[in-house]
Amino acid sequence: MMNIGEGMNMDKVLFICKHNAGRSVIAESIATQLWSPAIKVASGGSHPVGSIDPVVKQFLEDHSMPVPHNYSHSWEERTAFQPDIVFILCDTLHQERAPMWLSGGIRINWQVDAFDNKTSDRDKYAHCQRLRDSLHRRLSIVGELLQTGIAKEELEIKLVELKGM
């Protein structure tokens, strides 16, 4: 377990997006690959679509990244998980909402662009690469921060700063 300041354990992280078929799945895969196994990672969405986008799944497999699950999860399924940190990867341009019940931990909104379902698979795959590159940079730093013993308030400030990275 990673300790963050004053004995507070920060060892559960949840990534959310609308469908839990793209953005949050890629983030969960990256975190699982980069972070200590002591940090538990999950993902969910407000309107799960049943399965991971096939282009996203192919992208993960092509890059030897773990496929965290084969079907999309509702964030309601994650209430028992009780995350310490919630990364909201919703696209505010399309007014995607974030759950209010996740207010006990740190909530960070990184506003990641949604996949355009009207685009070609090739363009979707390229979007996966851009998303992976952006999230990998940020989540590498998050993994380091979770091991430092940083206070919760300072951690939250650092996580917000990573938004534009």
Cα–Cα dist 126/12, whole Å: 30
Instruction: Report the chain's C-alpha Rg in angstroms.
Output: 15
Q: What is the DSSP string of 49-80?
A: -SS--HHHHHHHHHTT-----SS--BGGGGGG
Q: Is residue 4 a contact partner of residue 151, using CB atoms and an 8 Å limit? A: yes
DSSP string covering 73-101, please?
Answer: -BGGGGGGG--SEEEE---GGGT----ST
Residue 16: which domain range? Answer: 3-164
Q: How far, rounded to the nearest angstrom, does the alpha carbon of residue 119 sit from its chain's CA centroid?
A: 23
Q: What is the pTM of this model?
A: 0.88
DSSP code at position 111 = -
Q: Is the pLDDT score of 1 beyond 60?
A: no
**Residue 3 near residue 149, CB atoms below 8 Å:** yes
Chain mean position to CA 33: 13
Please name the residue that has the structure tokens 């979707």. Answer: 124
pLDDT confidence of residue 96: 57
3-state secondary structure of 40: strand
| Pairwise CA distance, residues 8 & 151, whole Å | 8
pLDDT tens digits, 47-88: 888 899 999 999 999 999 999 888 888 878 887 888 899 998
Where residue 69 sits, what CATH number does that domain have?
3.40.50.2300
Element (H, E) at 119: none
Residue 27: per-residue pLDDT: 97
User: What is the count of structural domains for the chain?
Assistant: 1
Average pLDDT over residues 11-37: 92
